[in-house]
């Protein structure tokens, strides 16, 4: 069920440039002694995150995660699962255009690079410590290529930050320590 949900988050279209935050929570009273919620009482909240050029997108996304946390606290709900999708631009490094890519990235104009592709990344986490990541290339010669949804277990590693710079706030939202 989680893999299907994550695959659904990959269904964005080129040019959307949206981030989405999905949070599945349950009332604290609906969580049993083993930490499992009553499935009929699950609550799903979807946040569309559309920062404009006047704000830092990563900071705006972290503030949205904090708002989701505050909403759940106010409603006495326990977040069980959270996923965030991000549409972004990427350029394969190692070519003659590396310096141009670095320069455009610093100027937040990477989408103007001649070799740019648009990609949707998804990072998800669950209260029990499991995490998932996936990606789909939206444009360029590899358009519609998707990596399988990858399950991550164990302590979060530094490489996860590349996929989701807001991974730590998202993991905190569902009650993980790291």
Alpha helical stretches, state H, 56-174: 57-74, 98-106, 160-163, 167-173
Is 67 part of any domain? yes
151 within some domain? yes
For residue 155, is it within any domain?
yes
Task: Please check whether residue 23 lies inside any domain of the structure.
Answer: yes
pTM value?
A: 0.84
Angle of CA points 101, 104, 107, to nearest 5°? 150
Q: Is 133 among the domain residues?
A: yes
Q: Could you report the per-residue pLDDT of 56-96, keeping only the tens digit for each?
A: 777 888 889 999 999 999 999 999 999 999 888 888 766 66
Q: Is 178 part of a structural domain of the chain? A: no
Beta bridge partners of 44: 24
How confident is the prediction for the chain on average, in pLDDT?
85
Instruction: Give the C-alpha separation, 110 to 112, whole Å.
Output: 5
At 152-162, the pLDDT tens digits run: 888 887 766 56
Residue 166 belongs to what domain range? 2-173
pLDDT of 22 reads 93
Q: Look at the chain and report how many structural domains it folds into.
A: 1
């Amino acid at each position: 069920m989680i893999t299907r949900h994550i695959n659904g988050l990959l269904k964005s279209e080129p040019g959307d440039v949206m981030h989405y935050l999905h949070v599945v929570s349950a009332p604290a009273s609906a969580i049993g002694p083993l930490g499992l919620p009553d499935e009929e009482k699950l609550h799903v909240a979807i946040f569309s995150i559309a920062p404009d050029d006047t704000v830092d997108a990563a900071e705006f996304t972290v503030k949205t995660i904090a708002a989701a946390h505050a909403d759940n606290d106010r409603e006495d709900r326990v977040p069980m699962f959270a996923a965030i999708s991000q549409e972004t631009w990427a350029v394969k490094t190692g070519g003659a255009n590396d310096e141009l890519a670095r320069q455009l990235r610093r100027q937040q104009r990477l989408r103007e690079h001649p070799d740019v592709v648009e990609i949707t990344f998804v990072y998800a986490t669950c209260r029990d410590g499991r995490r998932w990541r996936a990606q789909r290339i939206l444009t360029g010669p590899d358009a519609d290529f998707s990596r399988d949804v990858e399950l991550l277990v164990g302590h979060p590693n530094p490489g996860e930050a590349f996929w989701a710079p807001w991974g730590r706030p998202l993991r905190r939202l569902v009650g993980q320590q790291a």
